[in-house]
């Protein structure tokens, strides 16, 4: 049975306890609304570590748009059932007050890559992500932490932060899990209508075509997407689009 921890003081005692002194820890940070993409991260952690800790914390500092934060799906009961079925050891489910004892007076800012791609359109987003991930890494002290490739820029920035600050956690990326027709799984997909879900599947299909970024952008617009950015960096093409007011991101190797 999973142990749900809401008080960080309780967690800190458990973490230094003799019971876990020789165990390896894997961390899967999430904001809940769990799907098969999260399950893939969790399964990998369970395979590679003695103890798996999942966190569910909807981190307000990474939402540049307050409406997006308000609408972020909450499926806590189903999440807990999934975590139990997967045999996760611990769920960290702290409050904002616990996670931000100094509010947001202290933060982590990366000044280069975080200003590109999604960072250009979501000011402060990656400051919030890096800050909360650093807190979680310090709390859990995991040997390994797992991040999905759908958020490739996030994965790269977290990996860079861990290296820059000499954090002894291996940051591991896990391939994107997709539906049959190729749509990357995302908690935000829950906000798409049936028709929008069908249209959304064109996003990765078009993104991976061997055409210029400009051409990809115009093909997506023809399908009804509002394109925020399409940009190829090396052999990977990144994109962010809107369907209605739902923002989708993806990236593919080309
Ligand atoms: O990818 C996410 O769900 C979040 O950005 C993360 C890593 C849990 C930090 O809040």
Residues 237, 230: contact at Cβ < 8 Å?
Answer: yes
Residue 129 corresponds to which tokens in the numbers above? 């992500």
Average model confidence (pLDDT) across the chain: 98
38 catalytic, yes or no?
A: yes
Please state, in angstroms and rounded to a whole number, the distance separating the CA atoms of residues 140 and 250.
29
With the most atoms of ligand 1 within 8 angstroms of its CB, the residue from 32, 42, 133 to mutate is 133
pLDDT digits (tens, 9 = 90+) for 173-200: 999 999 999 999 999 999 999 999 999 9
Distance 193 CA to ligand 1 centre (A): 24
Q: What is the pLDDT of residues 70-120, one digit of tens each?
A: 999 999 999 999 999 999 999 999 999 999 999 999 999 999 999 999 999
d(CA 92, CA 144): 16
Ligand 1 atom having least distance to the Cα of 129? 9
Q: Which whole number is the average pLDDT over 16-21?
A: 97
Residue nearest to atom 5 of ligand 1 (CA): 129
The three-class DSSP label of residue 30 is: strand
Q: Which two tokens stand for residue 152?
A: 């490739």
Per-residue confidence (pLDDT) for residue 128, from 0 to 100: 98
Closest CA to 59 of 140, 170, 134: 134
Give me the pLDDT at residue 26, please: 99
Rounded to whole angstroms, the Cα distance separating 125 from 148 reads 17
Helix (H/G/I), strand (E/B), else coil: 240: strand
Can you list the domains of the chain with their CATH numbers?
3-174 (3.40.50.620), 187-248 (3.30.1300.10)
Ligand 1 center–CA 113 separation, angstroms: 17
pLDDT in tens, 33-66: 999 999 999 999 999 999 999 999 999 999 999 9
């Amino acid at each position: 049975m999973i142990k749900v921890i809401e008080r960080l003081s309780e967690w800190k005692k458990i973490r230094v306890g003799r019971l876990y002194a020789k165990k390896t820890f894997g961390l899967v940070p999430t904001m809940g609304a769990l799907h098969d993409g999260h399950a893939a991260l969790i399964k990998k952690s369970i395979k590679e570590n003695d103890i798996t800790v999942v966190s569910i914390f909807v981190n307000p500092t990474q939402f540049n748009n307050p409406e997006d934060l308000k609408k972020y799906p909450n499926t806590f009961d189903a999440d807990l059932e999934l975590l139990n079925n997967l045999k996760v050891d611990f769920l960290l489910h702290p409050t904002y007050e616990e996670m931000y004892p100094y509010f947001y007076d202290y933060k982590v800012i990366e000044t280069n890559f975080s200003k590109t791609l999604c960072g250009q359109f979501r000011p402060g987003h990656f400051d919030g992500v890096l800050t909360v991930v650093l807190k979680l890494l310090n709390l859990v002290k995991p040997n390994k932490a797992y991040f999905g490739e759908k958020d490739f820029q996030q994965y790269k920035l977290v990996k860079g932060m861990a290296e820059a600050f000499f954090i002894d956690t291996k940051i591991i990326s896990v391939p994107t899990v997709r539906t049959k027709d190729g749509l990357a799984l995302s908690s935000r997909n829950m906000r798409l209508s049936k028709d929008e879900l069908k249209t959304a599947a064109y996003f990765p299909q078009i993104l991976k075509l061997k055409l210029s970024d400009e051409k990809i952008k115009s093909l997506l617009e023809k399908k009804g997407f509002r394109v925020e950015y399409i940009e190829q960096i090396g052999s990977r093409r990144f994109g962010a689009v809107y369907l209605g007011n739902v923002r989708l991101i993806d990236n593919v190797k080309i």
